[in-house]
Amino acid sequence: MDAICKAISEATGEKIEFISASPLAGGCINDANRLESSSGPFFVKLNQPSFLEAFHIESLALMEMGATRTIRVPKPVCNGIADGRAFLVLEFIEMGPPQAGSQAKAGQQLANMHRNTGKAFGWHCNNTIGATPQQNPLTQTWTDFYRSNRLGFQLELAARGGQAFHGADKLLERLEDYFENYNPVPSLLHGDLWSGNIGYGRHGQPAIFDPATYYGDRETDLAFTEMFGGFGPEFYNAYDETWPRDSGFKIRKKLYNLYHYLNHHNLFGGGYSSTAQVIIYDLLKH
């Protein structure tokens, strides 16, 4: 941690003395810590050296979201290797329970973040969704992007692991059918927005973190908020008041969460493959 404090000092231009470090619960992939320093707390993620690139990419995503000045994200401080481990240092956000109006603020601010659009779907670098690679080549047509780089990519991974999904080819072929009268714009996305990746700071101010950012259909972020729950009607009402969702979301959200079910199957196995199969059959009925 001394070496990390040195890196923080270099990044901030302020001499930081190490006081203590304690592990935090809640992370899925990395060791998360609260580092106490002479300049207050910092949030520090640690992992094997091969994670340095992922940490760097996470910083880029946080900076891009932060630059929109819409919803709060932790400010990246520095990243590197210290004592044989990759580290990522972020601003520490003191999290507490949501307060009255917190979820509404999150919905409104997320919609405002989504208003930041790119010139194409994708991103300037690849990243990961959970521990799975996520490819983001810049692509002009959303359905082409989603077919190849999201569903197709996960289906391929599943096939390599010996799992085939009936009807998946047909679904990919007729993807455009789910987009009649709907032309998504490339919105800046969080990309991994489940309830574990949103917190509430002092005064109930929402903050989102641990992103898998790219530019894509904003409905993908909203679909994923529903997969594990934790977002209430105030969140969705405030989102819709700021930028209403299209009525076709009801069907497309299945298409969008299919990506995450396939990813969960590829990461964890278990019952996720049967859920993914049911969603494919269900989608083919529409």
Q: What is the Cα–Cα distance from 53 to 79, expressed in whole angstroms?
A: 9
Residue carrying structure tokens 């992922």 = 54
How far apart are CB 197 and ligand ADP at their closest, in Å? 6
Helix/strand number for the chain, H first, E second = 10, 11
Please provide the size of the chain in residues.
286
Contact with ligand ADP (CB under 6 A) among 146, 165, 209, 239: 209
Q: Specify the stretch interacting with ligand ADP by CB under 6 A; choose among 88-96, 99-107, 115-123, 142-150.
A: 88-96
x-or-dash string of contact with ligand ADP, 91-110, rule CB under 6 A: xxx-x---------------
Binding range to ligand ADP, per CB under 6 A, among 116-124, 193-201, 232-240, 266-274: 193-201
CA 264 to chain CA mean position, Å: 14
> Judged by CB, which is closer to ligand ADP: 66, or 118?
66
Residue 20 or 141: which CB sits closer to ligand ADP? 20
Q: Which residues pair with 41 in a beta bridge?
A: 36
Burial of residue 261 (number of CB atoms within 10 Å: 0-12, 13-18, 19+): buried
Span 9-48, contacts to ligand ADP by CB under 6 A: 24, 26-30, 32, 43, 45
The verdict on whether 192 is a catalytic residue reads yes
Q: Please report whether residue 131 would count as binding ligand ADP according to CB under 6 A.
A: no
User: CA–CA distance from 23 to each of 44, 165, 237 (Å)?
Assistant: 9, 40, 36
Q: Annotated catalytic residue: which of 192, 210, 217, 221? A: 192
Contact flags string 153-192 toward ligand ADP, x per CB under 6 A: ----------------------------------------
Q: Which is nearer to ligand ADP, 89 or 151 (CB)?
A: 89
Residue nearest to ligand ADP as judged by C-beta position: 27
Among 5, 47, 44, 52, which Cα is nearest to 22's? 44
Query: CA-CA distance, 15 to 206, in Å (whole number)?
Result: 30
Q: Where are the beta strands (DSSP E) in the chain?
A: 18-24, 31-37, 40-47, 76-82, 85-91, 127-129, 132-134, 187-188, 198-200, 206-208, 215-216
HEC-encoded secondary structure of 87-134: EEEEECCCCECCCCCHHHHHHHHHHHHHCCECCCEECCCCEEECCEEE
Taking the complex as a whole, how short is the minimal distance between the CB of residue 12 and ligand ADP, in angstroms? 15
Number of residues counted as binding ligand ADP (CB under 6 A) = 20
- Which member of 90, 171, 193, 222 binds ligand ADP (CB under 6 A)? 90
Among 196, 230, 232, 248, binds ligand ADP (CB under 6 A): 196
Catalytic residues: 192
Q: Given the rule CB under 6 A, which residues bind ligand ADP?
A: 24, 26-30, 32, 43, 45, 74, 90-93, 95, 196-197, 199, 209-210
